[in-house]
Structure 1
Amino acid sequence: MRVLFLVQGEGRGHLTQALSLAQLLQIAGHEVVGAIVGITADRDVPTFFSEKFSAPITPVFSPGLVYNAGTNALEPVKTTLQALRYAKPFWRSLVQVRDIIEKEQPDVVVNFFEMLGGMTYALLRPTVPMVCIAHQYMAFHSNFQRPKGQWLYRQAFKLNTRLTCFGAQELLALSFDKQPDEPHKRVRIVPPLLRQEVTELKPTAGDFLLAYVTQPGLKVELLKAHEQHPDIRMDGFHSGVTIPDQAIDDTLTFHAIDGKRFVEFMACCKAIVTTAGFESVCEAAYLGKPALMIPQSNHYEQACNAIDGQRAGVGVASDRFDLDKLINYLPQYDKQLSERFRAWHAQGYFLFLAALNRASTPTSKPSSGGFFQTRMRHLLRS
């Protein structure tokens, strides 16, 4: 089977998932013929992906998300306005994606939450079947946990999610645990795709807390928590640190952002403090480390992740760096969860291969809606 990837280049999650699936497909004897990666004017294909992905990579322009420079909060209105401003180059990108698909003629296209994929299939109708993979597709599942209120953010999140998956044969929703499939919605539940660097680690019991600090406000909260609990050792990987290790005092050390070192620290920590990104929380669960999940401000998807992760028992949700909340949660953490999580993760090999085999021999193609196609073509070309 020949497989072509379409990958959202925003953040690390979808890119690491693509690397993980490529490893799985290669083990099974299938060929990944290439990857189309969505980039912006100020964000190229990350080095960690280009160095590890063995097939050709084609960067294609795709409107990115807009975050507040001071708070790192997601800006939904500015994100939408930016997408409209780039309508013409976005249309050219859709044509480029369609042409690559038709030239390569893979047996199936796998889309890791890149809007270029859904919109290309909605408007230009490539003949190759597509499967979409992302945790975000849990939003269409009846059991998915959502925060109360936030109606506008919820609708924007669902709209953005739908735009990525028009024309897909199936939506493979990555989940913390097993849930029933909902084939009438094209939704099938699959385990997380974790990078090999994590699954090869051997976790040990630790006595320190590990934090991943990318938001300026989170660093301030971490320092306050440290002042209140100076006896608790904490290590924080912080985007503002330029040297490998910066000791603040005997029990607090900041480290420069380094993905490899971070997971090594994770394997031997007591618990982690992180934003509620699906990938990092799953890595912690695989290693048996409870998580304090703090969603980024205005980031509806992370708010959902935190609630759903708490339901699944991988950690506790919080709206701030509440160290007392984490300390009180630790005795309640189920130490058998990691074993169950690993067993669920192990099923992925068969579930992903089965899904791609189904898609490569489809009985019918989902309709993307003629009226929608006509209006969107007119908007993007005008």
Structure 2
Amino acid sequence: MKILYGVQATGNGHISRSRAIAKQLQKYPELEVQWLFSGRAKENLFDMEPFGNFWWRKGMTFVHSYGRLNNFATLRRINLGQFIKDVKDLPIQDFDLVISDYEPVTAWAAKLQKKRCIGIGHQYAFEYSIPVPRFKWASHKVLRSFAPTKECIGLHWHHFGNPILPPIVPPQPVPDSNSGKHILVYLPFEHPIPMLNELAKLEYKFIVYGVPQHLPTAENIQIKAPSTDRFQQDLANAKAVICNSGFELLAETLVLGKPILSRPLANQFEQEANAKALEQLQLAKVVKRIDATTVRAWLENLPQALKIVWPDVAAALGKWIAAGCTQPSAELSAELWRKVVPKPTRGILPAYQVAPE
């Protein structure tokens, strides 16, 4: 079976879970997978070995500034003519199946040419009734129209009573002897200089990713370049994590049982919805701004974090895809949630049943 697998490369989370799926799909020699990435400049992609000779398209992405989504700049940056050309020129008929991790070129090409396309990713959980910001129906509609598919497999930290799957989380490294000595910070959507200045006021050690390396920093701050392996080890060794409300990093942090301080990217529907879910599930502390006062208050009263063990969702999806994607998603969802530890409850609060039934 020939599969075209499109990945939205704007965020590292999409690529991270796609790496896990790619390794599983390689176990099935009957599958021929062509990967396509869009939404980020090709030269800014890194650690792409699992995807072989992947395709790249410009696609569409969102523009942010000063911790907010900039709708006007987003619309201005879209090259609609190029996008339409990429959609029309994609050789979609050469493939038996299209899969989209919220990637618009593949999704729209499949939709227009009536090719079977399955959406697999966190954004497809929004097809169901889950926590979302109030009075933002227009943003919700845009999110659902960005990379549309008739069939979808949504991913989330809780099923919310729907046929949603748990997150795809790659195996995490074991903390080493230096663990618990730093706070990991990943805030790529914040204005970096004010953010670093606020962290410099605190008496804690911070390892910061997602900001330019050339920026001057205080002695308690270390800026590191993008690297999947180094980031994962620093995450495993961290005492706590400060981040925006992107889905994948939060899932990885919950596996490690680290306390989380999260600030959603303002005016970005998905991150605001994630923040709402975090609060309702009581999985993290959500704040409206990152400054020295907020961070100090949180670190001085650091909560006991919940450690969640997700099953190998990537392996289950690899098997599901290789079998022709015929098993109903509700069955697959039920099978996987039964393996989650601690056991998720049917309601939202408490989200997880720590004591055995």
1:145 aligns with 2:134: no
Given the superposition, is the C-alpha separation of residues 32 and 345 from structure 1 closer, same or farther in structure 2, using an over 3 Å criterion?
farther
The alpha carbon displacement at 1:319 in A equals: 1.1
In structure 2, the residue matched to 1:61 is: 58
1:258 aligns with 2:226: yes
RMSD: 2.9
SS in 2 for 1:111: strand
In structure 2, the residue matched to 1:294 is: 263
Structure number with the higher helix fraction is 1
SS in 2 for 1:261: helix
Given the superposition, is the C-alpha separation of residues 330 and 358 from structure 1 closer, same or farther in structure 2, using an over 3 Å criterion?
farther
1:353 aligns with 2:325: no
1:92 aligns with 2:73: no
Give the alignment's TM-score, normalised by structure 2: 0.79
The alpha carbon displacement at 1:163 in A equals: 3.5
Query: How many residues are paired up?
Result: 322
1:248 aligns with 2:218: yes
Given the superposition, is the C-alpha separation of residues 82 and 134 from structure 1 closer, same or farther in structure 2, using an over 3 Å criterion?
same
- Partners of 1:73 and 1:2 in 2: CA distance: 39
Identity over the aligned pairs, expressed in percent?
20
| Contact persistence 2:2–2:33 (CA under 8 A) | yes
Mean CA deviation greater in 308-317 or 132-141: 308-317
Given the superposition, is the C-alpha separation of residues 58 and 236 from structure 1 closer, same or farther in structure 2, using an over 3 Å criterion?
closer
| Contact persistence 2:210–2:226 (CA under 8 A) | no
Question: After superposition, what is the alpha-carbon deviation per residue over 1:285-333, rounded to whole angstroms, capped at 9, x for unaligned?
Answer: 11221211111232221111122123334321111122145336633x3
- Partners of 1:50 and 1:172 in 2: CA distance: 24
SS in 2 for 1:301: helix
- Partners of 2:59 and 2:152 in 1: CA distance: 21
1:51 aligns with 2:49: yes
In structure 2, the residue matched to 1:12 is: 12
Unaligned runs of 5+ in 1: 182-187, 363-382
The alpha carbon displacement at 1:165 in A equals: 1.8
- Partners of 2:223 and 2:35 in 1: CA distance: 32
In structure 2, the residue matched to 1:102 is: 93
- Partners of 1:81 and 1:192 in 2: CA distance: 33
| Contact persistence 1:67–1:74 (CA under 8 A) | yes
In structure 1, the residue matched to 2:183 is: 209
1:173 aligns with 2:154: yes
SS in 2 for 1:345: coil
Give the alignment's TM-score, normalised by structure 1: 0.74
- Partners of 1:30 and 1:14 in 2: CA distance: 25
- Alignment counterpart, residue 75 of structure 1, candidates 70, 74, 80: 70
1:26 aligns with 2:12: no
The alpha carbon displacement at 1:94 in A equals: 1.1
- Partners of 2:76 and 2:29 in 1: CA distance: 44
Unaligned runs of 5+ in 2: 329-357
- Partners of 2:39 and 2:295 in 1: CA distance: 37
Correspondence list, 1:91-130, <5 A: 91-97=84-90, 99=91, 101-103=92-94, 105-106=95-96, 108-126=97-115, 129-130=116-117
SS in 2 for 1:3: strand
